[in-house]
């Protein structure tokens, strides 16, 4: 049975980008790739090191966490991915890593302030950090609650304009219209986290980027009159 060969191949390729980009060691992350029409997503199996990961290992799951195809146990973070797919309408890829600088901000429990245009090229504001989860939520259905925590954080923020979040005490999740875009966002987030760390170390009073510059950079790349990139892209 290999109905989802292409989807699994794509999810696998995206997973393999994580160690290549220095975002994970061993098993420290997972990517999923969704096929909305088929009502499923393919995700990394739990605890399999990237060095040994094969395309056929990917686990295909529906949006209620039932395994549709695959012989392995799915990533322990799968239910968090499901919550994001069920709440973020046109998202087709989700990534979770434990990349170093992003985790450090998450552990510090702080949003990453929008300090410069590198950040504004990708997000319209700070990269939010969720609240720390309540003991009840932790002891409940933990991975679903992690997803809920993220969704709550985006009640007042557009998940289109900021495709990344830090889960307090844990680490980053990113998403995108494609799984490739979600991986791209994870790499960009790690770079922004590192830049912001150094910036604050140089000048602990660094102000947020002025609103006019945030707007200019975000709009020239993502606005309706965007002139960044190629028209066909």
For a copy of itself, which residue of 5, 160, 216, 222 counts as binding (CB under 8 A)? 216
Is 231 a binding residue for a copy of itself by CB under 8 A? The answer is: yes
> Which of 41, 13, 174, 192 minimizes the C-alpha distance to 120?
192
Tell the residue number behind the tokens 């929008």, with chain if given.
114
Based on the residue annotation, tell me whether 131 is a catalytic residue of this protein: no
Burial of 232 from C-beta contacts in 10 A (0-12 / 13-18 / 19+): exposed
What is the spatial distance between Cα 56 and Cα 165, in angstroms, rounded to a whole number?
30
Q: Does 28 sit near a copy of itself (CB under 8 A)?
A: yes
Find the shortest distance in angstroms from Cβ 60 to a copy of itself.
Answer: 17
Site string for a copy of itself, 114-153 (x = CB under 8 A): -xxxx-------------xx-x--xx--x-----------
224 near a copy of itself, rule: CB under 8 A: no
- Long-range CB pairs of 209-215 (<8 Å, 24+ gap) are 209/114, 209/115, 209/116, 209/117, 209/119, 209/120, 213/117, 213/120, 214/114, 214/120, 214/124, 214/125, 215/120
Supply the minimum distance, in Å, between the C-beta of residue 197 and a copy of itself: 6
Does 100 sit near a copy of itself (CB under 8 A)?
Answer: yes
In the region spanning residues 171 to 190, those forming contacts with a copy of itself, defined by CB under 8 A, are: 171, 184, 187-188
Question: Quick count: other Cβ atoms within 10 Å of Cβ 53?
Answer: 17
Q: Position of tokens 């002025």?
A: 210
Q: Is 228 an annotated catalytic residue?
A: yes
Residue whose C-alpha is closest to residue 174's, from 117, 111, 127, 137: 127
Binding of residue 19 to a copy of itself (CB under 8 A): no
Catalytic residue annotation = 121, 228
Q: Which residues bind a copy of itself (CB under 8 A)?
A: 21, 25-26, 28, 45-48, 72-73, 76, 98, 100-101, 103-110, 115-118, 132-133, 135, 138-139, 142, 169-171, 184, 187-188, 191, 194-203, 206, 209-210, 212-213, 216, 220-221, 227-231, 233
């Amino acid at each position: 049975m290999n109905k989802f060969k292409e989807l699994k191949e794509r999810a696998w390729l995206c997973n393999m980008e994580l160690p290549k980009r220095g975002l994970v060691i061993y098993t420290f992350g997972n990517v999923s790739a969704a096929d909305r029409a088929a009502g499923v997503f393919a995700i990394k199996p739990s605890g399999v090191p990237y060095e040994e990961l094969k395309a056929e290992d990917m686990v295909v799951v529906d949006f209620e966490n039932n395994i549709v195809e695959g012989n392995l146990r799915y990533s322990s973070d799968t239910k968090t991915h499901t919550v994001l797919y069920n709440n973020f309408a046109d998202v087709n890829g989700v990534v979770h890593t434990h990349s170093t600088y992003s985790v450090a901000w998450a552990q510090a429990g702080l949003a990453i302030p929008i300090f410069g245009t590198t950040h504004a090229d990708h997000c319209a504001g700070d990269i939010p950090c969720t609240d720390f989860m309540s003991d009840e939520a932790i002891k409940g259905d933990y991975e679903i609650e992690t997803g809920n925590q993220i969704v709550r954080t985006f009640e007042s923020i557009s998940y289109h304009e900021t495709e990344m979040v830090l889960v307090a005490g844990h680490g980053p999740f990113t998403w995108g219209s494609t799984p490739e875009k979600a991986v791209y966002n994870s790499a960009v987030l790690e770079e922004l986290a590192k830049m912001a760390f150094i910036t604050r170390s140089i000048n602990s009073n660094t102000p947020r980027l002025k609103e006019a510059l945030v707007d200019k950079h975000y709009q020239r790349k993502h606005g309706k009159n965007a002139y960044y990139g190629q028209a066909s892209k």
